[in-house]
Amino acid sequence: TPPGLLGPADVRRLSTVLGVRPTKTLGQNFVHDAGTVRRIVRAAGVAPGDVVLEVGPGLGSLTLALLEAGAHVVAVEIDPPLARALAATVAERMPDAVGRLDVLTADAMTVRGPADLPGPVAPNRLVANLPYNVAVPVLLTLLRNLPSVTDVLVMVQAEVADRLAAPPGSRTYGVPSAKAAWYASAERAGTISRTVFWPVPNVDSALVRLRRRPAPATTATREEVFAVVDAAFAQRRKTLRAALAGWAGSPAAAEEALRAAGVEPSERGEKLAIADFARIAEHRPSPRG
């Protein structure tokens, strides 16, 4: 019978055969534990019929587990040698699943819409062990550009998972929390030991689950709302009146917009939910004179 999921010896052998020298810049830490990738797939709730977008398949550890669960996998890998080897790895280890794999060699940040992806239909899920340094921009880009993705389960650095799932008012609430909340609700979904990776990373990892929900009802555009979020958090310790002075034109104009939106001008950005930022965006004063 074909060997199936990758273990420690497989990860070592594959990287040797492919001449892979894992780089920090691309966040290349490969999972060599079958229990871990199965746990991720289970936490994601992947079932036959799902079309799963996987960013950064690497050597194929998670890809094989997604295929094992019956999904069709659309894998987007930036590193050409890894992207090229993926189909052969699946053919060798899970031959029956080869027809359910599509591979795109690309930077996930450049995916502008479903037309940029191979695969039978647009993906309904994103499941990935994201490269650490670009996890948040990749996630926000894909939520923006792929509305068909309604369910997300990603492995990220533990601090990033905290930030994504943080509610307004909590210590880790910030730009990623507020922007992710435009698209989805987010919650932590467990931690992952660093020992399941090769090479062993120097940060802890965690799972975060996001479920798409309607954007807040507002007449402002997403760009307009995100501009308020960026300004509000640019200087964390400032009051909103001061932080939004540049955005509004003056502290007085900021105060007026905040009051019109029903937000206390002496409040700080970390107290506001995405719907509050949207209301503020609606009251941006138009430039005068």
Contact 156, 135 (CB under 8 A): yes
CA distance between the termini of the chain: 77
**Residue 107 counted as an annotated binding residue:** yes
# of chain residues touching ligand SAM (CB under 6 A): 24
Stretch that binds ligand SAM, among 129-137, 208-216, 235-243, 275-283 (CB under 6 A): 129-137
Short-list 80, 62, 70, CA closest to 20: 80
By CB neighbour count within 10 A (0-12 exposed, 13-18 middle, 19+ buried), where does 49 fall? exposed
Shortest separation between residue 190's beta carbon and ligand SAM, angstroms: 15
Closest CB to ligand SAM among residues 57, 269:
57
**Residue 96 counted as an annotated binding residue:** no
Stretch that binds ligand SAM, among 21-29, 113-121, 207-215, 225-233 (CB under 6 A): 21-29
Restricting to residues 38-67, name those near ligand SAM by CB under 6 A: 55-59, 61-62
**Residue 29 counted as an annotated binding residue:** yes
C-alpha 276/C-alpha 262 separation (Å) is 8
Stretch that binds ligand SAM, among 76-84, 157-165, 167-175, 242-250 (CB under 6 A): 76-84
- Strand 101-105, strand 72-77: pairing: parallel
Judged by CB under 6 A, the residue of 10, 50, 77, 162 near ligand SAM is: 77
Which residues have a Cβ under 8 Å from the Cβ of 200 and sit 6 or more positions away? 29, 194
Residues in the chain: 289
Q: Which residues pair with 104 in a beta bridge?
A: 76
Binding residues for S-adenosyl-L-methionine: 29, 31, 56, 77, 107, 129
Contact positions vs ligand SAM (CB under 6 A): 26-31, 55-59, 61-62, 76-79, 82, 107-109, 129, 131, 134
